[in-house]
Structure 1
């Protein structure tokens, strides 16, 4: 299946535990794919071929990939389940939690449009590449997980009492999701202390963008909260900026805190709304071929901008914040971002199964590889556990002066606005003096 830019995943979320995974809209399994495979062994070989042709690491994690093919094709498979098990075993040799196989049920779940109504508890997680532990990227706002107080960087050690040791994200999804109103207990490790969270599964509707006009000493400012880069994030962002422009705001605060990422092309489209010119991101495949995305002279506004980031801001969030920072379009306030610089494509294989494959690394405009390292904010503002809990227990304080990171962003923005107004006044004075001469 051809994968367009809109079908590329750029997210730290290996899975979204709302019974679906964040992926491109419109992914489908063609009829030719559905009828292609005649035996389980052919499916194993099909997956091997895809990795051989497109995987980002040409050394395959220092594995003799051709020898792997010989090994697995010399085996006998009597059922699809045996083939699925072999494929997962084969992919584990790559030591990449983002490259994974999905059986037909798992792949169907992945194909659900991210702009629709989801079912689950609303947490987004990944498998740590080094420790192999299941790590929460962030809870989705207004979901059972968010309301219960689950935080970014929490480690899931048990699901309904079952240890997650050696468990991958696919297995975790199968245990966590379930019927609406049913319960699941997650045991979380946080700062060497285990905490049990009893969560009731629910329908979850995701609107990626929220905006408002907030008061400041420098006049009205536009506040925009972007939760994730889902299929409709760019259109909602465009509407939000245009609406705030009509209200004559003097500057903007863009809140990307706990935004785990999503669609690659969504981050590029949104960056173009803020950037008039300059590089946005470069992706590099295993052959070293670079695809460079740039601004296109179609920025909606050039007013001062401050971006809020934290440890839950990942992938597509890091592309957007990195582009704005490197091009000196915005000041970043908060804490270091998550650090995930890999791109996956998703495709159908065999008889309705699917797989996600890491095909490229991405770099910020200045050539920074943020994988594992993250992006450092220009102005660092840490929140204490007490402050985090206070904001969670009373969400009306978020994006107010009771929110320390927002308060600092507002202070920084006020200085940016004042500086720009001063420069504009100087330019006007010079123009008047020149006209008198």
Structure 2
């Protein structure tokens, strides 16, 4: 599969910088610009006709859509863009969407750099068509204010989001650093809440790691925030460094990780899994591709993975592969449940199109769309836990964090078993 074209992010937009996490595509040269807006309309139709995952186009007469689109006259590019967006709505797929040139340029920003916004990963609830928060970006204005995964955004400033798509929401939420935006959200069991946020530049650290001493045992802790273009290399460096320092086990934290690039999740899975399947993708013709481990694992030490409702897409690919191969114990709460893959296409006038091209399955053949990954050990955070951890980030990934504490507890018998096995091997060698 083309590495830089395929995306499995649960996000519709990371406000205000990327709309599909980690995508890095070259823009077409302006020499290729076509002056007739109808050309872009037909480009979009052709791509969807060729690649959309459902050959019935979700019971939409796609040929009739083309005839309608090409029978119209478009005075401006904006008229054509509006027609394209209206046509794509008929596919009933929030992840197949059109991006105007500004939105497409924003999407291509390298996710390892600085982003400007409030730090929210947005998605669309496929049942209610409401804008939902997949996850706030760690340390961002939204995160500090207390916005949470699964919050429903009902108003942006004074404008209702009813019927609004994610692109429109991004346009309203983003703005200059230092400017303000008011988000009204609905949270299950709590009603409406209003957040006044100040936009700022946000630096995304894809991977951070450190060694924790837990009951005299060195545990490698790795926080992975997104599956961006450089995430695999950063993960490789983290594992190699901590292996040199003699850690006895690992905790991989995927909480609030909204996903990213498919190939990135496969590369990272291979660092933990020596042999076995990782993920398969199924397009309209049947199975499209399989990703397998290739005997390049960097460690076989015990591993626990932390997940929650904000762990989506590529996070679910990785955790599903580790779970199905019995390589790790998964701890936390059920994941987001997004099992679709998108391909991103630059168009001739500088705009872009993301189109859903495949569904993915875990190694055991499980379709997690709308269901998510069920943890091996279910550990819910109480409202008191959430408030305490959000108010004092220093407590996250310590024994004061119930999900992390459960991971340490689950790893302990595995660590002791390995240590005992090592002692017996030494004893046998000395006889």
TM-score by length of 1: 0.95
Alignment match of 1:56 (pick from 29, 53, 58): 53
Shift of 1:75: 1.6
What's the Cα RMSD here? 1.5
Contact 1:161 1:187 in 2 (8 A): no
Change (3 A) 1:269 1:351: same
1:19-418 map, 5 Å: 19-31=17-29, 35=32, 37-191=34-188, 192-217=190-215, 219-418=217-416
State the distance in 1 between where 2:62 and 2:45 align: 8
**Would you identify which runs of 4 or more consecutive aligned residues in structure 1 move more than 6 Å?**
none
Contact 1:18 1:204 in 2 (8 A): no
Q: Note the alpha carbon deviations across 1:12-49, whole angstroms, 9 max, x for none.
A: 10100033223445311223x85253411121111100
State the distance in 1 between where 2:58 and 2:418 align: 50
Query: Unpaired runs of 5+ in structure 1?
Result: none
Contact 1:12 1:126 in 2 (8 A): yes
Name the stretch that deviates more: 281-290 or 152-161. 281-290
Name the stretch that deviates more: 33-42 or 305-314. 33-42
Change (3 A) 1:178 1:62: same
Contact 1:217 1:414 in 2 (8 A): no
Contact 2:23 2:107 in 1 (8 A): no
Shift of 1:426: 4.8
Name the stretch that deviates more: 71-80 or 271-280. 71-80
Shift of 1:5: 2.1
State the distance in 2 between where 1:340 and 1:25 align: 18
Query: Unpaired runs of 5+ in structure 2?
Result: none
Shift of 1:142: 1.2
Change (3 A) 1:228 1:358: same
How many residues end up aligned between the 2 structures? Answer: 430
Q: Note the alpha carbon deviations across 1:193-230, whole angstroms, 9 max, x for none.
A: 11110100000110111111111236111011111111
- Indicate yes or no: 2:10 matched with 1:15: no
Partner of 1:289, secondary structure, is strand
Shift of 1:67: 1.3
State the distance in 1 between where 2:424 and 2:61 align: 65
Change (3 A) 1:23 1:150: closer
Contact 2:17 2:109 in 1 (8 A): no
State the distance in 2 between where 1:421 and 1:283 align: 39
State the distance in 2 between where 1:262 and 1:204 align: 18
Contact 1:310 1:336 in 2 (8 A): yes
